[in-house]
């Protein structure tokens, strides 16, 4: 019998992938046209796996593909360093191009050292005494020169792009980035999951990135394709799951990409040969339990009033949050408190109201169930 076909890790660029064929084609088309793209969705929809798969295809077409993860950046210097490191890391595979990057990206020096897996890791050190906005400006200016002379197409992913709004002088950072990026003859993909912040950055006329990229929303997986993916994974590995149970999984998890992989990973190990409804119940609880630490960490960042509002929405999806009977049922103290809570919870992408006429709801389907269970 084959090994578990589902994974708890980031899906490798050459591994089995459910659907996203159209998204891959679109992102490759944008890249070939040197268009910038804003790729956004709720957390763990597979954005990183998708862009890395796209870059894998582009690299095969002789494109230089740099991936820069901005998650957790705390300073302008760190943003500059991560951008420089992403270029050094990808060009190191080609000595001639690497030498060009070292010669042109003069604000940082690459430092090569042995890694734990026997390979070579790259870090960077500032080459100048300047820092902050000046260092970022110099780094981006150097990157622009590199793009001009390298003689190849360049594709750069800036993952968790909304994180730049958390550093000091963030508007100045946005301005410097935009002023250089708009001059570069290459494709940038701005990736992120805090949708309200990202859309504000790219849709507000007063922000530097206003209308500077194609907005591309990554949605849940198509139900039909997801059911086929689940069934195919089990079948190829020598186990059975009927289409009805695969359909139940898609519905239980709201067609969520990450949770489907995780749930099926647990389920596959539970099943001996044929999948039962009881197996689904057990796998669902295992998946829910595996997320407990993350869900608890989310609540620790919130106030009691915000947690109360979040739990109320999990228990009762509605658009009438200010209705007196709703507030009374869920022990919500004031309309002002609700408004403040909505602002924080939407900024963190924990809740959403798809349209003004629709109900408020919890973005994460498993978090919603966990909140309900916790309130019992």
Does the pLDDT at position 13 exceed 60?
no
- Answer yes or no: are the C-beta atoms of 82 and 68 closer than 8 Å: yes
- Report pTM: 0.92
Confidence at 8, pLDDT banded by 50, 70, 90: confident
Does the pLDDT at position 117 exceed 90?
no
- The chain-wide mean pLDDT, for the chain, equals 94
Pick the range with the lowest mean pLDDT from 10-24, 27-41, 275-289. 10-24
Confidence at 16, pLDDT banded by 50, 70, 90: low
- Nearest residue to 263 (alpha-carbon basis) of 230, 307, 292: 230
More reliable by pLDDT, 312 or 115: 312
Does the pLDDT at position 338 exceed 60?
yes
CATH class of 21-217: alpha beta
Confidence at 357, pLDDT banded by 50, 70, 90: confident
pLDDT of residue 9: 77
* Residue given tokens 């059911």 in the structure block: 227
Topology, domain 302-375: Arc Repressor Mutant, subunit A (1.10.10)
Confidence at 98, pLDDT banded by 50, 70, 90: very high
The pLDDT tens digits for 19-34 are 689 999 999 999 999 9
Q: Domain-by-domain residue ranges, the chain?
A: 21-217, 223-290, 302-375
Q: What is the DSSP string of 274-329?
A: B--HHHHHHHHHHHHHHTHHHHHHHHHTS-HHHHHHHHHHHHS--S-TT-HHHHHH
- 27 Cβ contact list (under 8 Å, min separation 6): 37, 39, 50, 51, 54, 189, 216
Q: What is the DSSP string of 97-146?
A: HHHHHHHH-TTEEEEEEE-TTSSEEEEEEESSS--HHHHHHHHHHHHHHH
């Amino acid at each position: 019998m084959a090994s578990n076909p589902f994974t708890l890790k980031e899906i490798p660029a050459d591994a089995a992938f459910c659907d996203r064929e159209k998204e891959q084609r679109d992102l490759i088309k944008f890249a070939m046209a040197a268009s910038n793209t804003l790729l956004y969705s709720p957390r763990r929809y597979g954005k990183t796996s998708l862009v890395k798969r796209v870059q894998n295809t582009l690299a095969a077409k002789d494109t230089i593909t740099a991936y820069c993860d901005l998650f957790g950046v705390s300073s302008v210097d760190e943003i500059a360093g991560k951008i420089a490191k992403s270029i050094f890391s990808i060009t190191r595979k080609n000595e001639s191009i690497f030498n060009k990057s070292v010669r042109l990206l003069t604000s940082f020096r690459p430092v090569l050292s042995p890694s734990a897996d026997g390979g070579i890791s790259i870090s960077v050190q500032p080459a100048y005494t300047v820092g902050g906005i000046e260092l970022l400006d110099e780094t981006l200016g150097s990157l622009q020169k590199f793009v001009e002379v390298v003689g190849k197409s360049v594709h750069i992913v800036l993952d968790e792009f909304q994180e730049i709004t958390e550093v000091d002088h963030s508007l100045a950072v946005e301005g410097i980035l935009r002023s250089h990026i708009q001059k570069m003859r290459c494709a940038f993909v701005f990736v992120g999951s805090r949708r309200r912040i990202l859309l504000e950055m790219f849709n507000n006329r007063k922000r530097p990135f206003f209308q500077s990229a194609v907005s591309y929303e990554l949605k849940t997986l198509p139900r039909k394709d997801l059911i086929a993916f689940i069934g195919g994974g089990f079948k190829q590995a020598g186990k059975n799951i009927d289409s009805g149970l695969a359909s139940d999984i898609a519905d239980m998890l709201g067609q969520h990409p990450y949770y489907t992989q995780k749930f099926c990973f647990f389920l596959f190990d539970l099943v001996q040969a044929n999948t039962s409804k009881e197996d689904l119940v057990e796998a669902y609880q295992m998946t829910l339990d595996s997320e407990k630490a993350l869900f608890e960490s989310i609540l620790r960042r919130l106030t009691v009033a915000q947690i109360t509002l979040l739990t109320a929405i999990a228990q009762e999806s509605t658009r009438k949050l200010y209705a007196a009977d709703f507030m009374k049922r869920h022990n919500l103290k004031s309309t002002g408190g609700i408004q403040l809570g909505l602002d924080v919870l939407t900024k963190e992408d924990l809740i959403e109201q798809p349209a003004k006429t629709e109900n408020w709801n919890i973005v994460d389907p498993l978090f919603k169930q966990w909140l309900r269970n916790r309130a019992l």
